[in-house]
Amino acid sequence: MSKNTPPLSNRPDNAAPNNRAFASSLFLLLAWLFIVMAVVVRAPRKDRVPYSQFIEQVESGQVAAASISSQQIVYTLKPLPDLAPVTADDAPIQRITVPLQNDAELPGILRSHNVEIEAVADSGIGRFFGLLLPLLLLWMIWASFSNRTQGGGLLSVGKSKARMYLEGSSCVNFDDVAGVDEAKAELQEIVDFLQHAQKYVSLGAKIPKGVLLVGPPGTGKTLLARAIAGEAGVPFFSISASEFIEMFVGVGASRVRDLFEQAKQQAPCIVFIDELDALGKSRASNNRFAGNDEREQTLNQLLAEMDGFVPNAGVILLAATNRPEVLDPALLRAGRFDRRIVVDRPDKKGREAILAIHAKDVHLAEDVALDKLAARTPGFAGADLANLVNEAALLAARRDHAAVTMADFNEASERILTGVERKSRVLNHVEKRTVAYHEAGHAIVGALMPGAGVVEKISIVPRGIAALGYTLQRPEGDRFLMVESEIRGQLVTLLGGRAAEEIVFNRLSTGASDDIQKATDLAERCITLYGMSPILGPIAVDRSQSPFLEGYAQPRRAISPHLSEAIDEEMITLVEEAHQMAVEILIRNQDVLEEIAQKLLEEETLEEKALKAFLDKVHSPATLSTWLNRDAETLPQPRIYSPEEPYRETAY
């Protein structure tokens, strides 16, 4: 659904005539070769002889004249008197030989035999071409490479490849961006800086030089920048940081220079660098591998340029990244990218607004309620929502609907969450039973957990790459913080599938592997990141977490084997306890487990309403709450809040 802005003044794109350029280089090469050959082969009457023969001939008085250069000696033989009549073309016979280097005696010998000597300077035409040819070849290889690698041809290698948008040429504006109101307001302020610079300058304020948009992928950072291009009423240069780096050393730096030169000429204007982390990674993080000089040089040039323009020159540098934590500290210091605007995932209202933007051109059926759709998609970024609308429209088209219905949207969101339904994957009877009990186990355990939301649907129709069945639980709303009992609850829910298989079939299957993976990850995070282990206490074993990229591997602190062992033990204990808890819950609710599984085998999917009748009968064992909240002794007694009664939130 993205709208592409046509670049206004762009460098000519050389991609198409590439082949022709290559053919003409080849032709040129052949032509030069031909000329050089012609020059070298020109004198047919010159015969090469060994140097010794030349000296012999000199000494026997046969040589009339010799012209000597450092490359060769061309000499003429005296016409032999007894060989008359001379041949038709009576030019004297010429011979050539290669001179012996440093033969100091040669001039003496020649003189003593009355040979006419001529010294030839070295700039013979043949030598000239001889030198030129390899250069020419090199140039052609380089040219054809640079042609292919960047479509800019040889001469524009050092030029910036920024696209420039002139005022109003972008067809995206602020109305096309929703759910990020704070970011929009801040950017509007920036636009105001440029448009009414005088107001700020006369008050003595310095206009910021650099503004950094940070946020998770797909939240609309690039889109916001494009909207500014449409709104600001000033020229807008846009480039992706990776475009600075080319195969040639030094190109990045000169592109940065060129970009800023252009920008300064167009001031007031905005320069936008997308995915800044490609260029601005911390220099410290790389010094073990010396391979990144080029990026470093480019970064240095960028820093220098940012310092180079006076604060109120009217150039504002805008950049976007989803990994602010890896950026070089020098980029972030005051006077450079000192303003940071967070573009975060939208809340429910924001999601509704984004859905409305993308559904604008889609024919919606009466029953579509965008607010309901927004409610069931927490965690979706703008790009996911755009994708959701598009998937729903595609589904509606495939089903020949006249308009996109709510059912299409539901199916689309399930597809995005769990993958495409795979009716063609036929499970045998045993597999089906295993999956049915497994999913029923998840549903029962999940229904008991605090803050986990409503079980919306369970299904034993295979989906996506790996899922043989799935349980969808709708979160109650947007969450920005989780308490420990909820995380522990998640652990138990994840292991509910495996536990059900164990108690019903008394054997293990591979079906739980994804759950186990997730549970292990979660348990590890509890201990190494959230500081929730009673034994280790609030210790972070992993270094700073990437705030916007979930699950992005971070380097682990240097820890002792002792601590490492303790972590392993804690992890295993936590997972095992959660597993025991799940088993206990399901044993207490075996009758409901049986009912749900049977119903699932009959109907394949169960929706919220049908499920509710079963799940209402589920009761939780007394130990559950104790375990979720960890028994009180392991936590220090709260003293500040209420000395009599431990502070504990129980209502969700």
Q: Where are the alpha helices (DSSP H) in 506-644?
A: 513-528, 561-588, 590-603, 608-615, 622-628
Determine the residue type at 100: L
User: Which stretch in 142-150, 428-436, 493-501, 613-621 sits in contact with Zn ion by CB under 5 A?
Assistant: 493-501
> In the set 243, 246, 408, 515, which binds Zn ion (CB under 5 A)?
515
Closest CA to 520 of 482, 466, 481, 576: 576
Is 350 near Zn ion (CB under 5 A)? no
Question: Which tokens is 611 given?
Answer: 């499920």
Distance CA 581, CA 559 (A): 31
Q: How many CB atoms lie within 10 A of CB 263?
A: 26
User: Which stretch in 218-226, 323-331, 510-518, 586-594 sits in contact with Mg ion by CB under 5 A?
Assistant: 218-226
Q: Which is nearer to ligand ADP, 108 or 217 (CB)?
A: 217
Q: Which is nearer to Mg ion, 222 or 377 (CB)?
A: 222
User: Which stretch in 7-15, 309-317, 492-500, 552-560 sits in contact with Zn ion by CB under 5 A?
Assistant: 492-500
CA angle (465 as vertex; 461, 470 as ends), nearest 5 = 40
User: Which stretch in 265-273, 458-466, 494-502, 520-528 sits in contact with Zn ion by CB under 5 A?
Assistant: 494-502
> In the set 435, 497, 527, 599, which binds Zn ion (CB under 5 A)?
497
Closest approach, Cβ 221 to ligand ADP, in A, equals 3
- Is residue 585 within 8 Å of 624, Cβ to Cβ? yes
Q: How many CB atoms lie within 10 A of CB 426?
A: 9
C-alpha dist (Å) from residue 567 to 485, 553, 573, 583, 629: 20, 17, 10, 24, 20
Q: How many CB atoms lie within 10 A of CB 517?
A: 11
Site string for Mg ion, 261-300 (x = CB under 5 A): ----------------------------------------
Supply the DSSP symbol for 242. Answer: G
**Residue in the shown chain whose Cβ atom is closest to Mg ion:** 222
Closest approach, Cβ 596 to ligand ADP, in A, equals 38
Supply the DSSP symbol for 158. Answer: T
Q: Which is nearer to ligand ADP, 220 or 453 (CB)?
A: 220
Closest approach, Cβ 225 to ligand ADP, in A, equals 8
- Is residue 601 within 8 Å of 436, Cβ to Cβ? yes
Q: Which is nearer to Mg ion, 172 or 370 (CB)?
A: 172
The CA R_g of the chain, rounded to the nearest whole Å, is 39
- Residue 497 binds which of ligand ADP, Mg ion, Zn ion, none (CB < 5-8 A, kind-dependent): Zn ion
Measured on CA atoms in the order 281, 282, 285, 287, is the torsion positive or negative?
Answer: positive
C-alpha dist (Å) from residue 55 to 115, 511, 544: 12, 94, 83
Distance CA 120, CA 55 (A): 19
Q: Identify the active-site residue in 439, 502, 524, 570.
A: 439
User: Which stretch in 3-11, 23-31, 221-229, 533-541 sits in contact with Mg ion by CB under 5 A?
Assistant: 221-229
Helix 181-195, helix 221-231: angle, nearest 10:
30
Closest approach, Cβ 240 to ligand ADP, in A, equals 10
> In the set 150, 222, 298, 410, which binds Mg ion (CB under 5 A)?
222
Question: Which tokens is 485 given?
Answer: 């009992």
Closest approach, Cβ 302 to ligand ADP, in A, equals 20
Per CB under 6 A, residues contacting ligand ADP are 1-2, 177-180, 215, 217-223, 320, 354, 357, 382-383, 386
Q: Which is nearer to ligand ADP, 344 or 414 (CB)?
A: 344
Clarify whether 167 is annotated catalytic: no
Closest approach, Cβ 540 to Mg ion, in A, equals 30
Q: Which is nearer to Zn ion, 260 or 470 (CB)?
A: 470
What does the longest C-alpha to C-alpha distance in the chain come to?
138
Determine the residue type at 222: T
- Residue 618 binds which of Zn ion, ligand ADP, Mg ion, none (CB < 5-8 A, kind-dependent): none
Q: Which is nearer to ligand ADP, 240 or 493 (CB)?
A: 240
The residue ranges that bind Zn ion (CB under 5 A) are: 497, 515
The residue ranges that bind Mg ion (CB under 5 A) are: 222
**What residues are labeled active site?**
439
